[in-house]
DNA sequence: CGGAATCCGCGCAGATACTG
DNA sequence: CAGTATCTGCGCGGATTCCG
């Protein structure tokens, strides 16, 4: 991984980055992982994914639907009922995102610590120099 | 995975998302994976990560350094020489990001296909309805 | 309930110019 | 070579309102 980057600027790498930009943003990652347990309704997602606005939830869900990662099902009743669930491709994404989410939660403390030290150093010395 | 989200809005989830937002953006993911093979210099990274501007590379590298994911070593010579390499924590991040990058490159074609179909459908019918 | 539409601020990120 | 500094714009995303 990474060792296949010997070729400088190639279009394939650019495409990967483009899709990565969509699938690997905070909201998409969290939404997909949240749908891992099964279908959810709009309001469930909004309440479950904390900090997301209904606008960003809508935008995120539309993007994931467009990419074929989830499907949106509308039941024509009153009050409206809309269910979101992962497609097979979406489910295949789960084991790819899980390690990253797990890593993040496991390294929260160490990252906080590293930040504090970095900020302290930045105040003391303007630049760290090797000899 | 995801099943631990039964509790609606909790501060821990918010923190995970916060760090995720930093570590899981396109530039950081690609930079870390690119450093997986060993130390690289600034210009090597700029040429290797296609589409990145020197400003975004600098910003990304600073953020990763601050989080303790890579270390920056300056050799005081002319011309200047700066090396970036992953810390142990940075290396532990590699196996967490690799699956996502691999998944993305493997599903590029199917995502493109899904988008085309979605865009075609959107033009035909204003809304898909379940019965 | 599950959005769509609109308004709007501010922060991300590109472009350019300059330095040790 | 490896940045920093400054300016700028435009798009992300929050808040609010309205609708089927």
Q: Residue A108's domain spans which residues?
A: 11-124
Bases of strand D lying below 7 A from some protein CB: 1-6, 13-16, 20
B90 pLDDT exceeds 90? yes
- Which SS3 state, helix, strand or coil, does residue B127 take? coil
Domain membership flag for residue B2: no
What are the residues whose beta carbons fall under 8 Å from the beta carbon of A5, sequence distance 6 or more?
A13, B33, B34, B37, B48
Quick check: is B39 in a domain?
Answer: yes
- Judge whether A15 lies within some domain: yes
Mean pLDDT of B29-33: 91
How far in angstroms lies nucleotide C2's C1' from the CA of residue B96? 35
Q: Do B128 and A72 touch (CB under 8 A)?
A: yes
Å between A53 CA and C8 C1'? 16
Strand D–CB B81 distance below 7 A:
yes
Nearest Cβ partner for B1 among A73, A98, A107: A98
Between chain A and chain B, the number of residue pairs with CB atoms below 8 A apart is: 198
Cis ω for the linkage preceding B79 (within 30 of 0): yes
Can you give the pLDDT of all 131 residues of chain A as single tens digits?
A: 444 444 444 667 778 887 887 788 888 988 999 999 999 999 999 999 988 999 999 999 999 999 999 999 999 998 999 999 999 999 999 999 999 989 998 999 999 999 999 988 877 654 444 44
Check if residue A22 sits with its Cβ under 7 angstroms from strand D. Answer: no
**Does some domain include residue A110?**
yes
H-assigned helices in chain B:
11-23, 26-34, 42-48, 54-66, 88-106, 108-124
User: Does B62 reach chain A within 8 Å, measured CB to CB?
Assistant: no
- The total of structural domains in chain A comes to 1
> Residue B131: inside a domain, yes or no?
no
A20 inside domain:
yes
C-alpha to C-alpha distance for A124 and A120, rounded to whole angstroms: 7
Token couple for A36? 């891992």
State whether B104 and A65 contact (CB < 8 Å).
no
| Chain B residues in contact with A29 (beta carbon < 8 A) | 20, 24
Name the residue with higher pLDDT: B17 or B49.
Answer: B49
CA distance B53 to B44: 13
Q: Is residue A85 part of a domain?
A: yes
| Closest CA of chain A from B54, distance in Å | 15
Distance A26 CA to C18 C1' (A): 37
Could you tell me the pTM of the whole model?
Answer: 0.85
Please check whether residue A82 lies inside any domain of the structure.
yes
Residues 68-87 of A with CB under 8 A from B: 68, 72-76
Give the CATH number, domain containing residue A64.
1.10.10.10
The position carrying tokens 């450093």 is B35
């Amino acid at each position: 991984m990474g060792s296949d980057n010997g070729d400088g600027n190639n279009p394939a790498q650019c495409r990967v980055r483009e899709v990565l930009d969509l699938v690997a943003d905070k909201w998409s990652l969290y939404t997909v992982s949240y749908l891992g347990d099964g279908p959810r309704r709009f309001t469930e997602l909004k309440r479950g994914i904390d900090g997301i606005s209904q606008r960003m939830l809508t935008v995120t869900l539309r993007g994931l639907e467009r990419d074929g990662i989830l499907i949106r099902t509308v039941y024509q009743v009153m009050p409206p009922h809309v269910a979101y669930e992962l497609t097979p491709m979406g489910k295949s994404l789960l084991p790819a995102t899980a390690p990253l989410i797990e890593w993040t939660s496991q390294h929260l403390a160490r990252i906080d610590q590293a930040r504090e030290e970095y900020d302290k150093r930045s105040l003391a010395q303007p630049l760290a120099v090797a000899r």
